[in-house]
A = this chain, B = another copy of it.
Amino acid sequence: MSESNATTEPLRVALLGCGTVGSSVARRLVEHPEEFSARVGRPLELVGVAVRDLDKPRDEAGLDRSLLTTDAEGLVTRADLVIELIGGIEPARSLILSAFEHGASVVTGNKALLGEDGPRLYEAASEAGVDLHFEAAVAGAIPLIRPMRESLAGDQVRRVMGIVNGTTNFILDKMDRTGADLADVLAEAQQLGYAEADPTADVEGHDAQAKAAILASLAFHTRVATSDVSCEGITAITSDDIRTVRRMGCVLKLLAICERVERPDGTAGVSARVHPTIVPRSHPLASVREAFNAVFVETELAGELMFYGPGAGADPTASAVLGDLVQAARHRVTGARGPGESAYAQLPVVPLGDVRTRYAIRVDVEDQPGVLARVATVFGDTGVSIESMIQGIRRSDDGLAPLTIATHEAAEGRLAETVERLRGLDEVGTVSSVLRMEGL
C-alpha cells in the first residue's frame, strides 16, 4: 500500500487542447482527484488548459473556466506534466520541445507528429531526462504501445497486422453488410460522427500510415517514418469489389501491416504498408465490426497475440492518455524514467516492390474460348503462380465477363508487370481492381 502515502505537494498538469478527448481528460482529473493521488503517490493539479478560443461554448462539467488560456507557450513552462492534444505538426512540436526544455514529461496522442518527427522528440526527452508517452496515438484505448515497448521487449516481433482506423472499418463493414456504395456509406458515417467533414486523412489511409510507422518502429527497433510506409486508401473501392470479395468467402479490411522480411540478399529488413486487404471470414480480424480496432502481433516466442477494443472516441482515448499520465507522474515521484527510443536494430525499410503477398486481380474479359488460356499465359510468363480463377456472368451491356484471379505469393514488382501485360491483351477490357490478400 506504499502508493497511498501521498505527499501533499501536487504535480502540475498542463492540458494543451480541449476538444472532446481533452474535455474527458479534464473532467476525470477534476472529478476524481483522490484516485489519481492514490495511484500516483502525489496529487495531480490541473494548472491550465490551452485553447484557441476562450469564448467557444464548452460543456466540461466542473472545469474552472479560469484555467483556460490562449497562452500555450506560457502554460508549458509552469507544468511538471504536459498533455498535448492539439494534433498536427505545429504548434504541437514546438510546445512539446519547449515542455521538455522546461523539464516536463509529455503525454501525447499525436500520431502525425510522431510519424514525421518521432526521433527528434525522443532525443529531446532523453536529453531533458523526462518521459515521452503516446499510448493514445495508436488504437485509442487499446493498450498496445506499452505492451510493444515493454511486455514484448524480451521477444522478437515478426509481424504486426491490424485494423487501426475506425472510420474506414466502419465504412468497409457497412459496405459489406449492405452492398451500398462508398459515397453513400461515407455520407452516413459523417452524419453519425464516425467520419469527419473532410475525411481525407482516414479514407486515403494517411491516419493508418502514421500509426503503421509508429508500430513498425517499436516492433523492429528501427526508425520508420510515415513516409517510409507505403499507403493505399479505400477511395477506389467499389461495391463490385466488395461483392467479389464476398463471393470468395472473404471480407475487405484496411490493414496496417508491419513485417520483418527477408531481403533479396538474405539479410533482414522491415516492410510497413497500409492497403485494403482481402481477409478470410474465418480470420479474427474479419469479425471486427463498425469502428472497432484490433491488432494482431506475431512474435517468435509468444506466438499470435490479439488486442481488441475501441480505437477512437473521447473517453477511450482519454483512458489511454490518463494511463500515460499516471505513469509519467509515478516516474516523476520515484525519480524514474520511461523507456526511451529503441532503434538499435536499424533494419532497412524494404521497398514495396520487393514485398511478397498474395493478390486477387479482377479483370473484365471477352467471353470467348481461349481467353482464360491467354490470361493464364501472362501469369506464367511473369512467374506469378495462379491459385484460382473464377469467372462471373457475361454482362449484356458490354458483352464482357468479370474474371477474378487469385495468386499465390508473389513480389509486388512481378505483379505490377503482370497487370501491365494484362492491360495490353486485346481480350481484356479493363483491369478493374488489384487487391492484396492476407491471413489465408
Contacts and interface: CB of A to CB of B under 8 A. Distances in A.
A319 B155 contact: yes
A436 B390 CA distance: 48
Interface stretch (A174-182, A332-340, A370-378): A332-340
Contacts of A142: 302, 305
Nearest to A294: B306
Interface in A92-129: 122, 126
B143 A151 contact: yes
Contact of A319 (B38, B122, B301): B301
14 contacts: A39-B154, A39-B221, A141-B305, A142-B305, A150-B327, A155-B322, A284-B308, A302-B315, A303-B309, A303-B313, A303-B315, A305-B309, A306-B308, A308-B308
A183 interface: no
Given A299-B319, A301-B322, A154 B339 contact: no
Interface in A129-143: 135, 140-143
A215 interface: no
A141 B301 contact: yes
A330 interface: yes
Contact of A344 (B39, B315, B324): B39
Interface in A336-364: 336-337, 339-345
Interface string A1-13: 1111000000000
B315 A301 contact: yes
B331 A336 contact: yes
Interface residues of A, number: 67
Interface of A: 1-4, 24, 28, 32, 35-36, 38-39, 122, 126, 135, 140-143, 146-147, 150-156, 221, 284, 299-310, 313, 315-316, 318-327, 330-331, 334-337, 339-345
Given A2-B126, A142-B305, A303-B310, A152 B334 contact: no
Contact of A143 (B305, B330, B334): B305
B39 A319 contact: no
A198 to B, nearest CB: 27
A265 B316 CA distance: 31
> Which among A28, A122, A336 has the highest number of chain B CB atoms within 10 Å?
A336
Given A154-B323, A299-B319, A318-B301, A221 B341 contact: no
A126 B2 CA distance: 8
Residue among A32, A39, A319 facing the most chain B CB atoms (10 A cut-off)? A319
B38 A320 contact: no
